[in-house]
Structures are given as C-alpha cells and as structure tokens.
Structure 1
Amino acid sequence: MSNAIDFISAYNTIDSRLRAIYRGKGNLQFSDLVRRCAEFNNTVRKYEDDLLLCARLRNVIVHESKKDRIIAEPCDDLTRLIGHVAELLSMPPRLSVLREKNVTGIDAEATLAEALVRIAQTNYSNLPVYRKDRMIGILNNRRVVRVVGQALERGEDVDVFLQTPCSQILQAEDMNRFYRVLGRSDTVQEAIDAFEDNRKLLAVVVTESGDAGDRIVNLLTSADIPMLIRILEE
C-alpha cells in the first residue's frame, strides 16, 4: 500500500475526530478545525503545525493527482506522524493508565477535630467522607476554615464545635463547585479539560465507574496537570 493511501486514511480519521471534538455548527474546513480544537485540546495543540502542513499536502494529493498517477507521495516520517496523531485522537489515553493512589478518607461520624488531625497527618487538603464505604462528600480545608471561623464569630466554644460530625459540615454545593467526578474509562484529556473549564476546581475525583459514591482510585489536583499533559505528549 502506498504512503498516499495510508496518509489519506489517517487524515480522514483525524478529520472525523476533530469534528466530534469540536462539536460546533457549520461545515468548517480541516485547517479551521485544527486551529479551533488546538485552543482546548492538548494533542491537537502539540501537532497543530504538522496538521496544517498535512492539510496542504492532502489537497495536493486529492485535487492534483490523476486517476492513474499520484502527484505527491508523503515521506515515511510524515505518514507515520499523521498515523500516530490519528491513533491518539481515536484512542486517547484513559485515566486507567494512572497509578492508583491510596486516597485517605474519614468516616462520616468522625468529628471535625479528627478530620483536622487527619488533614495535618497526611498533608491532604481534600478529605473524602464515607458512610458505609460510600463517599458522601469531600471535606476541604477551605470549608473547615470557614465553619470554624463562623463558630468563633458566633462566640461558640470551639472545643465543643470541633466535636461536630464531619457529615454535618459537608455542603452539597462544594461537590458541584469544587470537584469533578470521572471514571477510570474517561480520558486524560477530560481531566485536563475539567480544570480548564472550572478555575475554582480543587480536584478531579476518579472512581471505578464514574459514580460519585464508588471507590476512589485517584484524586487529581492542579499539581497533577503537568503529569497529565506529559502522558498525552508521550
């Protein structure tokens, strides 16, 4: 099989994937799709210049070739490159490739004082709260500082307040505002997108199935973004 045939096949795959990624209206040209997707997709951004070059070469192959003669034959390196990009976009790395973390949590009926000790011991600022092995929320240091400060403002005895069960400190709005739950089968790109879409996001919670109550296998913070980008690049 000629390089040109392999090249066009990979090009068509990329074109299809870009349209699925962009999900925009209108019949955009390939080059426009590349530029727009590069704004939010790390793989496309990395190979943007190469893809724009491929678009020009594709037009020469398709529009200038004769029925019995291909006017331009892509070199081996470029054919391998476009095939690699097509594979990355078609089968992007999943969160399942990440090494599982031993995510420290706490029981729903444990006291706020116990939660503070756990946070100090582990140096984790996001503490999953469980009831019968099911996560019901995440206690973060922002929420803890706020509720303790409010207790002081009300003139409450802090020692007494610190005996409050963690379940009573949780706020449903925190999960919606500061966390995103994904499953092991979701893509690394989706985790990166979650941080880019919500600048207030504290963590991406990775569970077995993507269900918020399922077993947590990873907790990704903004500090993990460089590692996630390296996975896409490699």
Structure 2
Amino acid sequence: MEHKNSERFLIAFNRIDKSLMKITGLPNHFSFSKKIDRAKSQHALVAHYEDDLREFGSLRNAIVHNRTGFDYAIAEPHDDVVKLIENIDERLSNPVTVKDLFSGKVHIVQADESLATGLRLVRKWKINQLPIYKKGQFIGLITADGIMNWLADQETDCISREIPTLLDVYNHEKRKKTYRFVKSSMSVYEAEGFFRKSIVSGKRLQALLITEQGGKDEKLIGIITPLDLLKIDE
C-alpha cells in the first residue's frame, strides 16, 4: 500500500523532531521551533536547513490540526517537499562520519627532519598542514604561515647555509593551537560546525585531526581542512 504524501511527511517530521531532541537535550514538550533555535548553533545541517525546517513546522501544524477525518488531510505536501524532508531526516538520523570521508594515509613529519623534507611533502601532496611528532608524541601543526614566519625571521645570507629542522620551523608558529582532535564517529556536519565556531570566536582552526576516540596519543587516521569541507558542498 502506497502512503500518502501527508503520511510520509509526518513520519519524517516526527523523526526529525526526535533527532532535534537528541541534539539539544530538550524534552518533548518544547516546541519544534524552540528545538530548531537551540540545535542550529550545535549542528551545521540544522543551521543550513533552518528556514525549510520552520516551514515544515507550519505545514505539520496545518496537516495535524485541520484534519477532518482519519483518511483526509487538508494539506497534501508536494512530492519535492516530501523528498526534501525525508532527505533531511536521513542525514540527521544516519549522518556521514568524518571517518567515512576523510580517513586515509596522513602525511606526518618528525621534529628532527629537515625543512626540505617537509617542503617535498607539501609540493608532492598539495597539503598546507603538517602534523609534527617527536619520539612518537604529537607536538603540533606546521602551517604555511609558520614556514613564512620562519623565513621572515631569518637573515638573508644565512638561509642557504643553515639546514633547519621542522621543529625550528614549528617554533615560529604564532598560534600553536590551530587544530583540534576529533573522534572518527563524529558527523561531517559537526566537523563543519567546529570550523564555523572557530571563525566566530576569532581563533580559526586550520585542521581537525581524526583519531578513533579523539585522543592525541592515538594513531592519526585522517585530517580535515576547511577547504576539504568546501569541496564536499560543491
């Protein structure tokens, strides 16, 4: 038996309502609109579809409160509306994780390796961030800004004679905490939210570093930059 659009819409709406409660921790008696208000600052997908979700709330009220019988709804949503709300429901209920999209070989460097080694990685793999380790312990992130700062601080006639280590370069990073470790099960939308919040706070993140449980002493299994997320949205 084929379900009516109104039935499919209400099923998806109720599932989204439960997802919003899970995101916000708000109890069921709070209005759908209040849940959106709270969730949009915590979840990038909710923020992206805020206007659509609010319209869904109004449409849901029209369907539910104006029924004239069990088999009759005063408003039957268009196919496109049903497809959109079901798509949002699916993405909230079964979000794509950072591990799904960004796990793979991560190019790391050692503190005692030369700057030339790091630059070869940058050139070959077209990357702008290099996680640096010393004796198996994570130290921080070498960025393009750090390399430029190192160059700017050198005497011109010394650059060709000295062979700097990557630790020398890292010590010229003006902001050391430009990264955050995240667990592999985090949704892509939560990851996007971290970057957004960092911009608002004025402490912009250069990268999110993925480990299984989000600990810096675990094996690094992936890295995400703001540019990576922009490519997904294209």
TM-score for both structures, normalised by structure 2: 0.72
Residue matched to 2:211: 207
Question: Any idea what SS the aligned residue of 1:87 has?
Answer: helix
Residue 108 of structure 1 aligns to which amino acid in structure 2?
A: A
Structure with the higher fraction of residues in helix conformation: 1
Residue matched to 1:217: 221
1:144 offset after TM fit, Å? 2.8
- The answer to whether the aligner puts 1:143 opposite 2:146 as a matched pair is yes
- The answer to whether the aligner puts 1:89 opposite 2:92 as a matched pair is yes
Q: Distance in 2 between matches of 1:174 and 1:31?
A: 39
Q: Any gaps of 5 or more consecutive residues in structure 1? A: none
TM-score for both structures, normalised by structure 1: 0.72
- Cα contact 1:135–1:214 (8 A) shared by 2: no
Cα 1:136–1:5 change in 2 (3 A) is same
Bigger Cα displacement from structure 2, 103-112 vs 142-151 = 142-151
Residue matched to 2:32: 30
- Cα contact 2:195–2:226 (8 A) shared by 1: yes
Q: Deviations over 1:139-190 (max 9, x none)?
A: 22322332443353xx995467544x434554598452x1122232111112
**Number of equivalences:** 225
Q: Distance in 1 between matches of 2:73 and 2:151?
A: 73
Aligned partner of 1:65 among 64, 67, 72 = 67
Residue 109 of structure 1 aligns to which amino acid in structure 2?
A: D
- The answer to whether the aligner puts 1:166 opposite 2:170 as a matched pair is no
- Cα contact 2:138–2:216 (8 A) shared by 1: yes
Q: Distance in 2 between matches of 1:55 and 1:123?
A: 45
1:67 offset after TM fit, Å? 6.9
- Cα contact 2:13–2:85 (8 A) shared by 1: yes
Question: Any idea what SS the aligned residue of 1:198 has?
Answer: helix
Question: Any idea what SS the aligned residue of 1:43 has?
Answer: helix
Residue 89 of structure 2 aligns to which amino acid in structure 1?
A: A
- Cα contact 1:61–1:72 (8 A) shared by 2: yes
1:198 offset after TM fit, Å? 1.4
Question: Any idea what SS the aligned residue of 1:65 has?
Answer: coil
Aligned identity (percent) is 25
Question: Any idea what SS the aligned residue of 1:213 has?
Answer: coil
Cα 1:158–1:17 change in 2 (3 A) is same
Residue 220 of structure 1 aligns to which amino acid in structure 2?
A: I
1:98 offset after TM fit, Å? 1.3
Q: Distance in 2 between matches of 1:121 and 1:61?
A: 57
Q: Distance in 2 between matches of 1:117 and 1:80?
A: 47
Q: How does 1:122-137 map to 2 (within 5 A)?
A: 122-137=125-140
Residue 86 of structure 1 aligns to which amino acid in structure 2?
A: D
Cα 1:111–1:10 change in 2 (3 A) is same
Q: Distance in 2 between matches of 1:209 and 1:40?
A: 20
Bigger Cα displacement from structure 2, 109-118 vs 92-101 = 109-118
Residue matched to 2:10: 8
1:207 offset after TM fit, Å? 2.8
Question: Any idea what SS the aligned residue of 2:96 has?
Answer: coil
Q: How does 1:74-85 map to 2 (within 5 A)?
A: 74-75=76-77, 77=79, 78-85=81-88
- Cα contact 2:43–2:189 (8 A) shared by 1: yes
